[in-house]
Chains A and B, each alone.
Chain A
Amino acid sequence: MADTAENQAVPTADESRRDFLLHATVATGAVGAAVSLWPLINSMNPAADTLALSSIEFSLGGLEEGQSVTISWRGKPVFVRYRTADEIETAQSERWQDLPDPQADEERVIDPKYLIVVGVCTHLGCIPLGQKTTEPRGDFGGYFCPCHGSHYDTSARIRRGPAPTNLEVPEYTFLSETNIRIG
């Protein structure tokens, strides 16, 4: 067909039927190959059994004022602290608008007695000190990361050091007065 007389006037490059077929075929193949890579890449994302572990329940009933407990959630530590009245007072009275990562204490807790944050420094992922009574709690009475010297206050907000943001508050809900579900 392409050899018939009227088609002898060859179209300019890239406009002929053959070029169209070539480009369409290569494009289809390339898109197909790219799409088929997705399941391979996605297989490295968390598996179903890993995701199934991503919420836990915890009872706050055993905690006394001034006590802390560290629980494991998604393989990371979660700091739970029954704050003293003093600590709550300090956290709430702070002029939070001037902090490096401005956030009011009220936005970071549900029940002001309990501070619940992910115990992973927002700088490079070390676990800050301050949960145990023997550990240094930094210049602001909260947490202190020994890796690169980030200081957090009693609301676990970053106050000094290289960490860019406050310790993350995980998603959690109160199931009852003293029971919470994290995640």
Chain B
Amino acid sequence: MSTNKGWGARAFDWFEERLPIVSFIDHSVGSQYPAPKNLNYFWNFGSLAGFMLVVMILTGILLAMSYTPHVDYAFDSVERIMRDVNSGWLLRYMHANGASFFFIVVYIHIFRGLYYGSYKAPREVLWWLGIIILLLMMATAFMGYVLPWGQMSFWGATVITNLFSAIPVVGDEIVTWLWGGFAVGNPTLNRFYALHYLLPFVIVGAVVLHIWALHIPGSNNPTGIEAAPQDKIPFHPYYTAKDAFGLGVFLLAYFAVVFWFPNALGHPDNYIPANPLSTPAHIVPEWYFLPFYAILRSIDNKLIGVVLMFASILILFVIPWLDTSRIRSATFRPIYKVLFWILLVDCVVLTWCGAQLPEGLPLILSRVGTFWYFFHFLVLLPVIGWIETPRPLPTSISTPVVAKPAE
């Protein structure tokens, strides 16, 4: 031990010996985490998702301080937040639009994983945890949307909870249990509020596991091949700086919406107080649920529609085995690369269909889109792995760079 250390360094060492939390963080997202040197901007979205989780929890806790979870007061308490609470409008718009931006970030993060094969061995559990986080986010977002107790809140809650009535034999009993009554009402609002407050912290726990599982194999990279130690650079300062830049760009987009288009992603009907006696003419979920809503409505059978909707997410759990190709990155998979973009377009089409009335062209497109979605994962993914001839992989992630002719 050097004796010329300052008192600050010695105090740090004293604490570190007793609780090495600083070095733990440093190993997780700091200078002791070696990350591949070729990560592109699509790798920003993990830390952006983490950032949004923090924003949602912070604004959410402050909103909860002014919100009243009671059918007679909920709507008015939200209006009071908008009009009377200092910066209440900012908190609410950050929270409501924050949910949308959280989903944008997470969807890009997921498609990044699909494109670069980040779900393949040895990252299957990491991928699973990501899907679990997505499911938790969906439950949290759905219950959060119920809290303002507008027309969309109420009827969204009614429709989504009624999904469970499709369960044979015990469906109705389960729905009554979910509601705590004979219809969506005060008990429903109370439990949704309790769970909406709880689940984000469950997500935090799942995120910790997600990062833990990430650190066993380390980050994937755009080439998909294992990064050799000499091809890695410390996460801090290299990727903290890159992520910070990406965060700045992201915040411009996020706050442009918060400040100038705060209701663009919402639905005006939710500014009408909930009326259990009248359903709005056209009810739609929030945009991030639209593709799943389109899948639900594409089938004329209640049970099959519900099963397909849940299956569309659950199928992601098994794609590490449905994908028979050992090549991770789509860069080296000419056929899969095309299929990836078709799948992305398919999801966009389904999103559009979900917002339309289920008749005519939107209904036909919903059915084609739903078919393609499952066809992609269940048939194309395994078959392409066998018949596709991948492009030659580089021997290291430095090779493609070094091999380029000098200017």
Contacts and interface: CB of A to CB of B under 8 A. Distances in A.
The interface residues of chain B, by DSSP majority, are classed as helix
B303 interface: no
Contacts of A42: 86-87
A11 B291 CA distance: 57
Interface in B47-72: 58-59, 62, 65-66
Classify chain B: how many residues form its interface, as a range. 10 to 19
Nearest to B80: A49
The interface residues of chain A, by DSSP majority, are classed as helix
Contact of B83 (A40, A43, A44, A48): A48
A78 to B, nearest CB: 24
B244 A47 contact: no
Contact of B66 (A29, A39, A40, A47): A47
A55 B398 CA distance: 72
A47 B87 contact: no
B244 A29 contact: yes
A34 to B, nearest CB: 14
B80 A40 contact: no
A43 B88 contact: yes
A56 B85 CA distance: 21
Contacts of A48: 83-86
A49 B84 contact: yes
A73 B285 CA distance: 45
B80 A45 contact: no
B244 A40 contact: no
A29 B80 CA distance: 32
B84 A43 contact: no
A47 B63 CA distance: 13
A47 B84 contact: yes
Interface in B77-91: 80, 83-88, 90-91
B244 A45 contact: no
A23 to B, nearest CB: 13
Nearest to B91: A43
A26 B91 CA distance: 25
A43 B87 contact: yes
A39, A48, A50 — most chain B CB neighbours (10 Å): A39
Interface in A25-42: 29, 39-40, 42
A49 B83 CA distance: 9
A7 B50 CA distance: 41
B58 A40 contact: yes
B84 A39 contact: no
Given A29-B244, A39-B90, A47 B58 contact: no
Interface in B86-130: 86-88, 90-91
B80 A44 contact: no
Nearest to B237: A22
A40 B62 contact: yes
A98 B85 CA distance: 46
22 contacts: A29-B244, A39-B91, A40-B59, A40-B62, A40-B87, A42-B86, A42-B87, A43-B62, A43-B65, A43-B91, A45-B86, A47-B66, A47-B80, A47-B84, A47-B86, A47-B88, A48-B84, A48-B85, A49-B80, A49-B83, A49-B84, A50-B84
Q: Ordered nearest first, which 4 A-B pairs have the shortest CB separation?
A: A39-B87, A48-B84, A47-B84, A49-B84
Interface of A: 29, 39-40, 42-45, 47-50
